[in-house]
Amino acid sequence: MNFLASPIGVIAILAIVAIAAVMYQPAKYVGVWRELAKLYETDKRPISAAFKGESIEVGSFNYSQVDIVLDDDGFWILYGGPGPQKVPACIQVPWDCVRYRQEKRGRQNFQIRGKKPIELWVMPELGAAMQRRSERYTLEDELG
């Protein structure tokens, strides 16, 4: 205990705290977006969005400023809302990682493959288009 009270002990503690403060890197994204970004973030951008200004729910968070693109490569989420430092600008999820689950409360539910499945809720029009695409890949997986 005397070591911590000595000037050398105080200097050692301050050095450890200073090193920890310099080395600390806060998480770039928060919550479910961190998982999505690790797996699916991309610098590529699709040419145009078919579903602009969509309201989606990812995990337990609502986002209402996303543009969605559905193409043969996958399901794209382009985020343009407030706080872009906490959400990746562009995510591309391949269709073999998207599964339709159910319709409930006027929305459709999909799961995105992650460490634990990530819940995604979308509006019916977008959900119907996603369901057609994701089921096509599910059938191809079962037949192939």
CATH number at residue 97: 2.30.29
User: What is the spatial distance between Cα 33 and Cα 28, in angstroms, rounded to a whole number?
Assistant: 10
Q: Is residue 63 part of a domain?
A: yes
- Position 144 confidence tier, pLDDT thresholds 50, 70, 90: very low
User: What is the spatial distance between Cα 94 and Cα 128, in angstroms, rounded to a whole number?
Assistant: 17
The residue segments making up the domain with residue 128 are 32-143
Q: Is residue 25 part of a domain?
A: no
Q: Is residue 67 part of a domain?
A: yes
Give 128 or 65, the one with higher predicted confidence: 128
Q: Is residue 15 part of a domain?
A: no
Cα 16 to its chain centre, rounded Å, is: 34
**Residue 139: its pLDDT value, please?**
45
Cβ-based neighbour number of residue 133 at 10 Å: 18
- Position 40 confidence tier, pLDDT thresholds 50, 70, 90: very high
Q: Is residue 54 part of a domain?
A: yes
Residues 22-38: what's their mean pLDDT?
69
In sequence order, the β-bridge partners of residue 109 are: 102, 121
State the pTM of this model: 0.69
User: What is the spatial distance between Cα 130 and Cα 91, in angstroms, rounded to a whole number?
Assistant: 15
How many domains does the chain contain in total?
Answer: 1
